[in-house]
A and B are shown apart, each in its own frame.
Chain A
Amino acid sequence: SSELTQDPAVSVALGQTVRITCQGDSLRSYYPGWYQQKPGQAPVLVFYGKKNRPSGIPDRISGSRSGDTASLTITGAQAEDEADYYCNSRDSSGNAVIFGGGTRLTVL
């Protein structure tokens, strides 16, 4: 299929670890990008590929992939991590780009 599925909402206690998942057939062929979006702001790339974190992104954010599921893990969540998170990849044909529906992360 050409879809990426994310849980609509996830919550985590301050300082705890949370995993946000993204599932889709295209992820068997393509590593995803992960984006953080805060209200009223443009998205920011926070992790991409097998093990890449853009400059300025804290190392408490990491990514992984197994089969058709990719995960973004935040270890020791902080209040500033509260945001919407999106995954994306090329679709299975490689000719288009798809996004997951997004996960709203709440830090309690």
Chain B
Amino acid sequence: EVQLVESGGGLVQPGGSLTLSCAASEFTFSVFWMNWVRQAPGKGLEWVASIRPDGSETSYVDSVKGRFTISRDNSKNSLFLQMGSLRAEDTAVYYCVRDRSSSWFDYWGQGALVTVHS
């Protein structure tokens, strides 16, 4: 069974930084686009970032460009999201998500809560 397990969430002050990790297992991680999707408390889903299977191409939602960096280590079946200059509006559950193709997200992790608060 495909598994995606996020870690690294927590409480951080505005302006601070945090890195999320996602451990993938039971599929060939290196051939899939991967994504981060977030959900603020009581709100809808928002795509945050995508990365190509070989890591050579990334894309971001406008609100995080220049502050967040998505990366991956295919040798360790791991996905990362480095988050900087965090704002209160970045508070959300962050999901690690596999793209089966065409941005159809077929497997989701359980989510990691990031709270930005002073």
Contacts and interface: CB of A to CB of B under 8 A. Distances in A.
Contact of A96 (B47, B106, B109): B47
Q: How large is the interface on A (under 10, 10 to 19, 20 to 34, 35 or more residues)?
A: 20 to 34
Contact of B105 (A45, A49, A84, A102): A45
A97 B103 contact: yes
Given A42-B95, A97-B35, A102-B44, A90 B103 contact: yes
Given A96-B59, A97-B35, A97-B50, A45 B44 contact: no
Interface string A5-27: 00000000000000000000000
B106 A88 contact: no
Contacts of B110: 42
Interface in B30-62: 35, 37, 44-47, 50, 59-61
A44 B106 CA distance: 7
B44 A88 contact: no
Contact of B103 (A42, A84, A89): A89
A37 B37 CA distance: 14
Q: How large is the interface on B (under 10, 10 to 19, 20 to 34, 35 or more residues)?
A: 20 to 34
Contacts of B44: 84, 86, 99-102
Main SS at interface, chain B: strand
A107 interface: no
Contacts of A30: 102-103
B45 A35 contact: yes
Interface of B: 35, 37, 44-47, 50, 59-61, 95, 100, 102-106, 108-111
26 contacts: A30-B102, A31-B102, A33-B105, A42-B108, A42-B110, A43-B45, A43-B95, A43-B108, A45-B100, A45-B106, A48-B104, A48-B106, A49-B102, A86-B44, A88-B45, A88-B47, A88-B103, A88-B105, A90-B102, A95-B59, A96-B60, A97-B103, A99-B37, A99-B45, A99-B46, A100-B44
Given A31-B102, A96-B60, 12 more contacts: A33-B103, A33-B104, A37-B45, A42-B111, A43-B105, A45-B104, A45-B106, A49-B102, A86-B45, A88-B47, A97-B35, A99-B45
